[in-house]
């Protein structure tokens, strides 16, 4: 096969040489979960420093060659996936892992992550526009000749049918730099956003112009399509210029796939100015968690979010009032789909873990957030959860007046109301421990009007009113500057139904049962990642009766339960159980066909190589675990995914495990919608003329006699089993 591929596709050798050593295959995205494994993509970095002579001219020529080479490879994938993989691994030199590993088995997606070298700041916009803009329609003659050869080998292309435009997703990756000042990175990030705007405008004008010609019949055209931007802040302190940039880009409807490692700590230039610090955090929080839902005119996804994933690092030196401000912005969020938040404990802490959880209760799970926030998923990473951390948590979750509960105020003479604060209004923002305003501090003002301002503990007559302002938290404003209105709830029910919780320290989860008791009923998907699981599965399911998916991760294993028959499972909890702290004990449970709970386990990843984390390292014990897993795979028919990570001394077991790869399971897939529509269209197609088809053959066909009831029965029976995936890794373990 390799020799045949070489002969057939040898004309692409020079194009692959242009990419040799420049392509990498891996993942830079925020990890999506225990089972979100297929996130690897092809990375390419465009570097000016590799160019000699006339740097600008030669780099533009190299940029064009690189773009054309990537487009040709994408065309090869359309013709023959095996050839695409062969060219990437053999000629471009990408690493896809070892045989048996999941990375090795995955299909390499046709999508590219582009990193642009920032040696010349003024070139950022130009380079990206050249790569993803309409200049793609002005490729070289050599490119078109090579593309024609690929088209001739593509059996998916028919000469008499319309041509195909292969859209190639391109995502730009931007990272701050620990060497250069943050304000320089801010101007570079702004240039990325401007490039995206220019590219969109170029394509809009092109599509409306005379140059936009239809694709010729039987031909291929390749188009790089710019996707939302990915940004990594590297956990650096946030400069005011970067905060302003993020706010402007979001307001200008620039879309992001992720903002990664954003640290909630301001640059030292703001440390000595409390008012400016308050403004900076307010600007950041209102920018990230805007109450306005924006539409992406260039996306086909109907329910997409402007900021798909946001990763925040909060620190314990952060003022408690600033974390309240964050929570207040979360309650009206219409921008972020998935939030990951981590608390880093440091000396001189102002923010206790108890108050951190109290604020999260308000921002994520309270009556206010349930009614107005569009957040769907949250990842929380913390050192531990003590019982005392949960004091007051449930009170806020269940309270009809969560603002008063959060801030310790009595209920007002009149109910809470929602208002718009007039632009330029003065605000008191500093309070003592009794909640009394500091009248000596400078007043804060926001130039633009602010909606979703909520009054609380209001006597109905005072000039100054207690309010919670999204992004700014507890403030006092003058009553005359509030324009009250009756908001309509954004959500008919809670949108937040997915929780991923990671507890870092072992034996530090005493408060977890209280947390699950408070919010478990609202969860559909739950992931717990702990060193050692101190809760049994049954108690988790009792606290979370509406779960459809439960994933549990320990040092030794990851397990996923699919609870599609939750009523039957709830009834059997007293009868069955699963021990998830031992590979051998769990394997025995999964071998028991009568255990209805074990049948819910769809995915399992075991790590005998981690045995040294829970007991003295012993090769014979690891080998016993491995053999128990093999016995389980021979008996179990419900697992659809299994991965084992063993010490290097046991790598000879790969063949034994791989024999179970792609074996059918008890689970099935329904007939795809496309196939159903094809059959329906054939059944109900209008009768065609005798001149077009032999009359006798038409009369013998009973296809048109199928009733609707019979079609439903066919669709119900047209299922096929899901094949099990089995993957194997080995790694070095030191056995004293």
Q: Residues of 205-220 as b/e, b for ≥16 C-beta within 10 angstroms? A: eeeeeeeeeeeeebbb
**Which backbone phi and psi does 635 adopt, to 5 degrees?**
-105, -35
| pLDDT, average across residues 300-326 | 89
- Inter-axis angle of helices 240-251 and 182-208, to 10 degrees? 20
Question: How many whole angstroms separate alpha carbon 545 and alpha carbon 79?
Answer: 48
State what percent of residues in the chain have pLDDT above 90: 64
pLDDT by residue (tens digit) across 412-469?
A: 999 999 999 999 999 999 999 899 999 999 999 999 999 999 999 999 999 999 999 9
pLDDT by residue (tens digit) across 343-393?
A: 988 877 788 999 999 999 999 999 999 999 999 999 999 999 999 999 999
pLDDT, position 573: 62
Name which residue leads in pLDDT, 145 or 613.
Answer: 145
- Residue 628: how many CB atoms within 10 A of its CB? 21
Residue 592 pLDDT greater than 50, yes or no: yes
pTM, full prediction: 0.89
Q: Poorest-confidence range of 46-60, 328-342, 534-548?
A: 46-60
Query: Which run of H or E residues covers position 368?
Result: helix 367-372
Contact between 484 and 417 (Cβ < 8 Å): yes
pLDDT, position 582: 87
pLDDT, position 574: 60
> Residue 54 — very low, low, confident or very high, per pLDDT cuts 50/70/90?
low
pLDDT by residue (tens digit) across 233-247?
A: 999 999 999 999 999
Which residue is associated with the tokens 């570097």? 47
> Residue 47 — very low, low, confident or very high, per pLDDT cuts 50/70/90?
confident
pLDDT, position 125: 74
pLDDT, position 186: 93
Q: Poorest-confidence range of 32-46, 71-85, 568-582, 698-712?
A: 698-712
pLDDT, position 696: 44
Residue 567 pLDDT greater than 60, yes or no: no
pLDDT, position 209: 87
Which among 424, 429, 482 has a CA at the least distance from the CA of 458?
Answer: 482
> In the chain, what are the domain boundaries?
269-510+518-523, 530-540+548-668+722-731, 672-717
pLDDT, position 693: 46
Count of all residues that appear for the chain in the document: 736
Which residue is associated with the tokens 């990206």? 128
Strands across the sheet with 426-428, in order?
444-445, 426-428, 473-478, 464-469, 450-455, 418-421, 482-485
Residue 700 pLDDT greater than 50, yes or no: no
pLDDT, position 514: 96
Residue 342 pLDDT greater than 90, yes or no: yes
pLDDT, position 697: 47
Residue 694 pLDDT greater than 70, yes or no: no
Burial label for 284, CB within 10 Å (0-12, 13-18, 19+), is buried
pLDDT, position 115: 86
pLDDT, position 564: 76
pLDDT, position 688: 44
User: How many CA within 13 A on the CB side of residue 132?
Assistant: 27
Q: Poorest-confidence range of 112-116, 236-240, 307-311?
A: 112-116
Residue 327 pLDDT greater than 60, yes or no: yes
- Mean model confidence pLDDT for the chain: 88
Residue 699 pLDDT greater than 50, yes or no: no
- Three-state DSSP state, 333: coil
Residue 85 pLDDT greater than 80, yes or no: yes
Q: Which residues contact 91 (CB under 8 A, 6 or more apart)?
A: 12, 13, 16, 17, 20
Name which residue leads in pLDDT, 532 or 704.
Answer: 532
Beta bridge partner(s), residue 552: 528, 559
Residue 106 pLDDT greater than 50, yes or no: yes
State what percent of residues in the chain have pLDDT above 70: 88
Name which residue leads in pLDDT, 249 or 674.
Answer: 249
pLDDT by residue (tens digit) across 162-193?
A: 899 999 999 999 999 888 899 999 999 999 99
Name which residue leads in pLDDT, 488 or 584.
Answer: 584
């Amino acid at each position: 096969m390799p020799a045949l591929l070489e002969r057939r596709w040898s004309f692409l050798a020079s194009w692959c040489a242009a990419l040799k050593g420049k392509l990498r295959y891996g993942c830079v995205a925020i990890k999506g979960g225990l089972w979100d494994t297929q996130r690897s993509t092809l990375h390419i970095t465009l570097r000016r420093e590799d160019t000699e002579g006339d740097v600008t001219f030669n780099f533009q020529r190299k940029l064009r060659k690189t773009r054309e080479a990537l487009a040709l490879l994408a065309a090869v994938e359309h013709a023959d996936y095996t050839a695409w993989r062969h060219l990437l691994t053999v000629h471009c030199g990408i690493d896809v892992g070892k045989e048996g590993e999941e990375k090795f088995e995955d299909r390499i997606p046709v999508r590219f992550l582009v990193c642009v070298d920032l040696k010349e700041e003024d070139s950022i916009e130009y380079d990206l526009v050249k790569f993803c803009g309409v200049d793609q329609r002005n490729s070289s003659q050599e490119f078109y000749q090579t593309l024609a050869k690929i088209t001739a080998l593509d059996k998916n292309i028919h000469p008499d049918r319309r041509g195909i435009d292969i859209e190639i997703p391109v995502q730009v990756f931007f990272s701050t730099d620990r060497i250069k000042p943050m304000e320089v990175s801010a101007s570079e990030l702004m240039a990325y956003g401007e490039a995206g705007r220019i590219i969109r405008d170029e394509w809009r004008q092109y599509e409306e112009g005379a140059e936009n010609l239809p694709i010729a019949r039987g031909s291929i055209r390749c188009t790089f399509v710019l996707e939302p931007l990915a940004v990594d802040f590297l956990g650096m302190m946030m400069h005011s210029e970067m905060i302003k940039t993020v706010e402007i880009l979001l307001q200008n409807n620039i879309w992001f796939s992720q903002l990664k490692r954003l640290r909630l700590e301001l640059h030292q230039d703001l440390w000595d100015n409390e008012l400016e610090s308050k403004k900076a955090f307010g600007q950041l929080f209102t920018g990230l968690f805007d109450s306005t839902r924006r539409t992406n005119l260039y996306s086909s996804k109907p329910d997409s979010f402007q900021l798909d994933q946001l990763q925040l690092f909060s620190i314990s030196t952060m003022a408690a009032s600033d974390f309240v401000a964050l929570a207040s912005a979360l309650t009206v969020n219409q921008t972020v789909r998935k939030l990951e938040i981590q608390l880093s404990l440091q000396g001189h802490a102002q923010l206790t873990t108890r108050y951190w959880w109290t604020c999260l209760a308000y921002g994520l799970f309270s009556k206010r957030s349930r009614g107005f926030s569009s957040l769907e998923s949250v990842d929380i990473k913390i050192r531990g959860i003590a019982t005392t951390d949960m004091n007051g948590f449930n009170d806020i979750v269940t309270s009809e007046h969560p603002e008063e509960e959060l801030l310790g105020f009595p209920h007002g003479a009149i109910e809470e109301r929602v208002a718009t604060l007039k632009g330029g209004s003065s605000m008191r923002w500093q309070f003592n421990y009794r909640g009394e305003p500091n009248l000596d501090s400078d007043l804060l003002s926001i130039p633009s009007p602010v909606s979703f301002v909520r009054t609380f503990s209001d006597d109905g007559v005072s000039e100054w009113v207690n309010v919670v302002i999204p992004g700014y938290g507890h403030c006092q404003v003058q009553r005359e500057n509030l324009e009250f209105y009756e908001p309509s709830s954004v959500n008919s029910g809670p949108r937040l139904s997915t929780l991923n919780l990671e507890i870092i320290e072992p034996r530090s989860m005493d408060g977890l049962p209280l947390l699950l008791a408070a919010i478990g009923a609202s969860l559909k998907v739950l992931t717990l990642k702990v060193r050692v699981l101190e809760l049994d599965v049954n108690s988790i399911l009792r606290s979370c009766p509406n779960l459809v998916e439960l994933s549990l991760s320990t040092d030794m294993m990851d397990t996923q339960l699919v609870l599609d028959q939750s009523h039957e499972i709830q009834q059997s909890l007293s009868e069955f159980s699963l021990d998830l702290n031992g590979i051998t004990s769990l394997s025995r449970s999964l071998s028991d066909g009568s255990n209805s709970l074990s049948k819910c386990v769809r995915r399992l990843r075991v790590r005998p190589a981690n045995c040294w984390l829970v007991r003295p390292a012993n090769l014979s014990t690891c080998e016993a675990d491995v053999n128990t897993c093999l016995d389980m795979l021979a008996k179990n028919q419900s697992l659809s995914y299994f991965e084992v990570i063993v010490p290097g001394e046991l790598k000879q077991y790969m063949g034994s495990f791989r024999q179970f790869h792609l074996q059918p399971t008890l689970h099935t897939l329904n007939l795809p919608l496309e196939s159903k529509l094809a059959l329906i269209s054939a059944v109900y197609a209008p009768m065609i003329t005798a001149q077009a088809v032999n009359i006798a053959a038409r009369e013998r066909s009973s296809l048109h006699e199928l009733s609707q009831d019979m079609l439903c029965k066919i669709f119900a029976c047209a299922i096929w089993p899901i094949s099990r995936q089995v993957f194997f890794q080995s790694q070095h373990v030191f056995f004293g």
